[in-house]
């Protein structure tokens, strides 16, 4: 991966301008698995303070072969709960949420969060 990434395990993150990108390697069908995984990463590794105002959050699940049997709305809720308090103060600040599933070259989830322009 490119320079500027924090983390060496299943979860990595970086700041890209005003955006924060988080990558979670691997997939499971249990959305609840991701909440403590990402939360612990943010608690131990992330140094930036949460910001106020409206935010955009984009979540992209990449899978190889058949898509995993997982509800994307449950995945989104678990991930939003895990980054709340670290990227923004409350998930009510999420003014735009995009959650999508795509076939990819590897199994992973990417979260991208940035302030929404007025």
Rounded Cα gap, residues 50 and 84, in angstroms: 8
3-class DSSP string for the chain: CCCCCECCCCEEEEEECCEEEEEEECCCCCHHHHHHHHHHHHHHHCCCCCECCCEEEEEEEEECCCCCCCCHHHHHHHHHHHHECCCECCHHHEEEEEEEEEECCCCEEEEEEEECCC
Summarised one tens digit per residue, pLDDT across range 15-61 is 988 999 999 999 888 888 999 999 999 999 998 899 999 999 999 99
At 1, the pLDDT band (50, 70, 90 cuts) reads very low
Residue 74 has which token pair? 């449950």
Distance of CA 31 to the CA centre of its chain: 12
Residues 4-15 pLDDT 10s: 899 989 999 999
Residue 66 clears pLDDT 60, i.e. is over it: yes
Q: Which residues does 1 contact at the CB level (< 8 Å), separation at least 6?
A: 12, 23
């Amino acid at each position: 991966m490119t320079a500027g990434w924090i983390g060496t395990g299943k979860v990595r993150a970086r700041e890209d301008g005003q955006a924060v990108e988080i990558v979670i390697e691997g997939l499971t069908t249990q959305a609840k698995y991701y909440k403590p995984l990402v939360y612990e990463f943010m608690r131990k590794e992330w140094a930036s303070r949460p910001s106020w105002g409206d935010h955009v959050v984009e979540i992209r699940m990449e899978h190889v072969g058949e898509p995993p049997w997982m509800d994307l709305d449950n995945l989104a809720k678990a991930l939003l709960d895990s980054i709340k308090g670290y990227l923004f103060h409350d998930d009510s600040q999420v003014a735009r949420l995009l959650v999508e599933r795509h076939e990819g070259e590897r199994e992973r989830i990417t979260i991208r969060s940035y302030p929404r322009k007025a």
